[in-house]
Amino acid sequence: MLETLLQLGIPAFLLALGYVAGTTAEQNHYKSIRVRELRFRRMPTTNLRRPPAHWRVESVGLVCGHTVVSVDYFKRFLARLRRLVGGRVRAYESLLDRARREAVLRMKEEAAKGGYDAVINVRLESTNIAAPLRNDRGTAGVEILAFGTALKLARAAQP
Amino acid sequence: MILSNTEEVPGRAIREFYGVVTGSTVRAKHFGKDLLASLKNFVGGELKAYTELLHEARQEAVERMVEQAKALGANAVVNVRFATSSVAQGAAELFAYGTAVRVD
């Protein structure tokens, strides 16, 4: 009796924990992302390789931002169900979206800290750093890296 | 040392090329931190321990690349790229490379 209770209880508890904690964390994260994106909206960021011709570049530096993220137990459960029928795995989409926007924001924060005005040639990379074991145990994480060339511009030519 | 991931340093002309410079570091996960990260895995979100680990590792790879460029007499590295590969279970190589040049 106790054994069955434990066998069912632990996954059920983890599912509930994953659902509650994961959803709260996601909502808070999106709130913070939106606030910070507004704050940095004046810093031009582009994946063009060259700055526009009228910019007068004073100095140059490399800036990076990155984050390692994983999904909660509940979402992993949903994704595993989804794998049976195929189709869109929403549970992972929002996670990667958050991670990418966070990485770009961190890159912009680093650029702002260095006194730069814009970032060009932005590249986004994702790496699977900790592949889960076969039975979905172990730590699974994806690293999102954003990097680019930050520019300090002459005052007159500020965008 | 000027670093840039563009093919040239904006606003400056390249005078001399010194070739590809590389820097790499292989890091293993700290057992305790890995345990914490695997607990964090239940609730999802950012795995801060890994973020820090990779941040340090990448900085070190870049530093090594810069050292190599300095030894060649370069004052800039252009077209910097990053790569990550896992060499063994629980260990990853972080790799930075670029072209060492002299600019005005």
Who wins on pLDDT, B67 or A29? Answer: B67
Dist CA B81 CA B5 (whole Å) = 7
Interface ipTM: 0.84
Q: What is the pTM of this model?
A: 0.85
Q: Which two tokens stand for residue B78?
A: 């252009």
A92-96, A128-132, B32-36, B54-58: segment of lowest average pLDDT: A128-132
3-state secondary structure of B101: strand
| Residues of chain A with C-beta less than 8 angstroms from the C-beta of B44 | 18, 21-22, 25-26, 69-73, 75, 95
Dist CA A89 CA A98 (whole Å) = 15
| Residues of chain B with C-beta less than 8 angstroms from the C-beta of A60 | 2-4, 9-12
| Residues of chain A with C-beta less than 8 angstroms from the C-beta of B7 | 49
Dist CA B46 CA B44 (whole Å) = 7
Residue A67 has pLDDT above 70, yes or no: yes
Dist CA B64 CA B22 (whole Å) = 7
Dist CA A7 CA A20 (whole Å) = 21
DSSP structure string for B8-37: S-TTS-EEEEEEEEEEEEEEE--HHHHHHH
Give the pLDDT band (50/70/90) at residue A135. Answer: very low
Q: Which two tokens stand for residue B14?
A: 């390249």
Tell me the HSE value of A105 on the side-chain side, using a 13 A CA sphere.
Answer: 18
Question: Residues A44-71: what's their mean pLDDT?
Answer: 90
Domains of chain A with CATH codes: 2-157 (3.30.110.70)
Bridge partners (DSSP) of residue B22 are B97
CATH 3.40.50.1390 given to domain B2-28+58-103: no
Who wins on pLDDT, A17 or B42? Answer: A17
Q: Check residue A45 and report its DSSP letter.
A: B
Facing B5 at nearest CB: one of A26, A121, A129: A121
Report yes or no: A60 at the B interface, CB cutoff 8 Å.
yes
Query: A90-134: per-residue pLDDT in tens?
Result: 878 888 899 999 999 999 999 999 999 999 999 999 887 655 544
Report yes or no: A12 at the B interface, CB cutoff 8 Å.
no
B55 contacts A50? CB cut-off 8 A:
no
A17 contacts B10? CB cut-off 8 A:
no
Shortest Cα distance from B41 to chain A (angstroms)?
A: 6
